[in-house]
Chain A
């Protein structure tokens, strides 16, 4: 049945994706950190960007869209999100992000649960979000499981890359999950990785089926991919000292491909993060001592890390349905550049932090997050500056396919634009 669905979707989508589209006359924001280009052109074909910028020729036979007075930018890449795995996060029955009483942890794979028809996906798409890094939530172990990269397209095939990363909690949350302290979390981490090595040496002898086993066979398999560096390990920590402890892990596990998330005290050790070439997906505007592990949080964190040479993407703060606010976060980081004592981002850097930045953190910026030739054609046409709050998308393409500009929120809005009932109850308006 699923295959039939996919086939149908491919058949329906192919002609549109194959069509060459050229958006002309718009301000083009590439998403790679560069400044926007006025009166530029973006061309995409077969689901991929062909060219973007000034002086780009419109190919013969292209569908030409006049972008005069508008802006074109790559769609936003939201990390870390629960789109597609929760209908309403607080409604436990609808929430697939955590597995509190499951025997498994690192083995958990969110890609099998993604529901592209979940209504927030279309809602957030209309806010300019086209991809998301979907992370499980650590519930019964420091290991949350394997996250996926998805697109927000209006088709049944959402998963761009399954098992794109393993998510682990260290710091305060990790300590709590491991039994009450940071040392317990590191003991659990090391033991789990050692058991993965046991599994590698002799899979037949590996237990993992005992009731009280902390590492099941599936967990060991998932952790081997982490040890081999084929799956990036996303580590959530906030405190500067925790960051340094995490940065030291590759001395013991040389192939680990680390990504930090949170890192609200990252600015204090920004040089060390940059030297370790570890990318960060950071909360943009965390400026409160929300916990003792984030006493030094400041809105300058991202700017200071970026200035030190760290690859930074902005986190969508995990607020399910709040992914569209990424552009507001990015805009604020531009705004603080004008406040004495603050470090912000240039406009181009700010856009990159919500497009190519998160993609780069997972090593996928060759595929996603910018309007560079060869990237997937996730393109949004805006009626103004995409970081400005007064702007809105007027058209969205994902993998080169034009997306419907409708959502459940739009339907509710249209039903209640006039709140009073007419001749029939509201249930008859649609």
Chain B
């Protein structure tokens, strides 16, 4: 796991370098060439910028508590201090300022906030009426031009359930899987806001949602158009990547030499970002054999799959995933609901971990997101009964640092390391027990859920004044 994480970090670092090069070419005035070519004008990479701001918190120290630090460490009877929105210190003892709020954590656990790498909250919000069905732009197999953030309804009641019942502090909202290239994802802090921009995780890279397998071929095959088969899926993908390479060449030349600005293509902008390493591929894929094909396709066109999502058969190819440095984001035990999920087993994540592949839990579900800790607990049990004994503190990586890494935000959140965002959950017991619930949840050091304080329980605009409004849910 450690080496896999490093590989991913290395790859992300390459991506960041590419990003900074592009930024330079946009921002700096280039020396005027002798030719009469017009200097290049950049296009904005971030037109819907984050306006998120951390909410106020107070310096807080939690004492006498069991800590899973999210990086595989465990401290019994330890202490966590955070202030100014950041983790300050974690250890057996910490030096807390005298004005810090002190919380006695006896019998309780502290962990990093949970990060769900696969959510449709906001773009498939509840109530699940047709008017809210904003997750699949199912009008063509390639819709790399759509951005999930433009569908997100910040008032989705699902955000508060994920916070209060699930301890979820960060989540990636993806478009759906009807399409081969379904559009851009967005990473959000799990904080209610009036605008999507005010939820947007500052500095998080975009993702491109891709899908292989049954969904795209079913959706378009039933419309009598390509793709209607798995081979059609790959054919359409390859044709699109070939165009993207050409688009990238044109723009790279323009960025270097100026001249006539090439035509903008919003979808191709996204694919150019992928090829440049700035945008991360999040690939819905179930079957082992298909994941292997996608890995080859990525090599053919010079991109990288950061994570396969669902990855029901990942356990069959842990070695291939490991060799490619691709993570698997999986469910604990969903299986059998369609042909490509028929071989699901409860030990998937445990087998991946033992094989040294990068793996994590995910929900893809507005209910499952409320119990991701319990989903991991089920995996631990299945693993143990199969002879794979994984320590709980190691398994917490599947809930925080793993997804943070696959989202390119592990330098900011995902573990209780000094300097990172104070995204913290206090659990009222062992978080891998079915009898445990979140007691308090902090995001950037601000207390945004407190089980003991009805006023620290968000009520979305939609719920206000409706039957059951303000009730514990």
Contacts and interface: CB of A to CB of B under 8 A. Distances in A.
B98 interface: no
Interface string A292-332: 10011111100000000000000000011110110110011
Interface in B298-320: 315-319
B347 A340 contact: no
B106 interface: no
A419 B454 contact: no
Interface stretch (A13-21, A193-201, A227-235, A387-395): A387-395
Contact of A417 (B346, B380, B386): B386
Contact of B343 (A298, A328, A338, A412): A412
Central interface residue in B343, B351, B467, by most chain A CB within 10 Å: B467
A267 to B, nearest CB: 9
A319 B462 CA distance: 28
Interface in B316-365: 316-319, 333-339, 341-347, 351, 355
Given A298-B473, A300-B472, A291 B433 contact: no
A424 to B, nearest CB: 16
B434 A388 contact: yes
B2 interface: no
B375 to A, nearest CB: 9
Interface stretch (B67-75, B121-129, B246-254): B121-129
Contact of A409 (B158, B317, B345, B435): B345
Interface stretch (A67-75, A84-92, A129-137, A373-381): A84-92
Contact of B381 (A341, A392, A419): A392
B338 A265 contact: no
B335 A328 contact: no
A48 interface: no
Given A240-B467, A321-B334, A328 B434 contact: yes
B411 interface: no
A419 B316 contact: yes
B336 A321 contact: yes
Contacts of B436: 335
A123 B333 CA distance: 11
A298 B472 contact: yes
Contact of B339 (A88, A123, A240): A88
A291 B128 contact: yes
Contact of B336 (A88, A416, A420): A88
A430 to B, nearest CB: 15
B381 A290 contact: no
A268 interface: yes
B432 interface: yes
A413 B463 contact: no
Contacts of B467: 240, 265, 268, 295-296
A216 interface: no
A179 interface: no
Contacts of A420: 319
A122 to B, nearest CB: 12
Given A388-B435, A416-B316, A295 B468 contact: yes
A181 B246 CA distance: 53
Contact of B437 (A268, A339, A412): A339
Contacts of A207: none
B336 A297 contact: no
Given A265-B467, A296-B468, A388-B434, A288 B378 contact: no
A37 interface: no
B346 A419 contact: no
Given A321-B335, A328-B378, A390-B432, A287 B473 contact: yes
A65 to B, nearest CB: 19
B388 to A, nearest CB: 8
A182 interface: no
Contacts of B451: 339-340
A321 B334 CA distance: 7
Contacts of A321: 334-337, 344
B161 A288 contact: yes
A67 B293 CA distance: 50
A336 interface: yes
B385 interface: yes
A125 interface: no
A242 to B, nearest CB: 13
B319 A335 contact: no
A216 B174 CA distance: 47
Contacts of A327: 434
B69 to A, nearest CB: 22
Given A288-B126, A340-B452, A417-B386, A298 B468 contact: yes
Contacts of A328: 371, 374, 378, 434
A362 B365 CA distance: 31
Contacts of B214: 90
Nearest to B454: A341
B471 A341 contact: yes
Interface residues of B, number: 63
Interface string A272-293: 0000000000000111111110
Contacts of A319: 334, 337
Contact of B380 (A88, A119, A390, A409): A390
B463 A289 contact: yes
Contacts of A236: none
B468 A291 contact: no
Nearest to A285: B367
A416 B454 contact: no
A86 to B, nearest CB: 9
A120 interface: yes
B377 A290 contact: no
B466 interface: yes
B111 interface: no
A334 interface: yes
A285 B433 CA distance: 17
Contact of B337 (A88, A332, A387): A88
A342 interface: yes
Nearest to B451: A339
B165 interface: yes
A101 B412 CA distance: 55
B133 interface: no
Given A265-B467, A298-B468, A89 B351 contact: no
B127 A88 contact: no
Interface string B201-228: 0000000000000100000000000000
Interface in B151-168: 157-158, 161, 165
A287 B380 contact: no
Nearest to B438: A339
A389 B432 contact: yes
Nearest to A383: B385
B149 interface: no
Contact of B128 (A119, A286, A290, A391): A290
Interface in B435-473: 435-437, 451-452, 454, 462-463, 466-468, 471-473
A290 B435 contact: no
Nearest to A388: B434
A300 B462 CA distance: 20
A335 B437 contact: yes
B306 to A, nearest CB: 21
A300 B463 contact: no
A123 B347 CA distance: 13
A399 to B, nearest CB: 25
A334 B428 CA distance: 13
B338 to A, nearest CB: 3
9 contacts: A91-B338, A289-B463, A295-B467, A328-B374, A338-B435, A390-B432, A409-B346, A416-B351, A417-B388
Given A298-B468, A299-B472, A331-B435, 18 more contacts: A88-B341, A285-B367, A288-B161, A290-B126, A296-B468, A299-B473, A320-B336, A322-B334, A335-B434, A338-B428, A389-B380, A390-B381, A392-B382, A409-B344, A413-B346, A417-B388, A419-B316, A419-B318
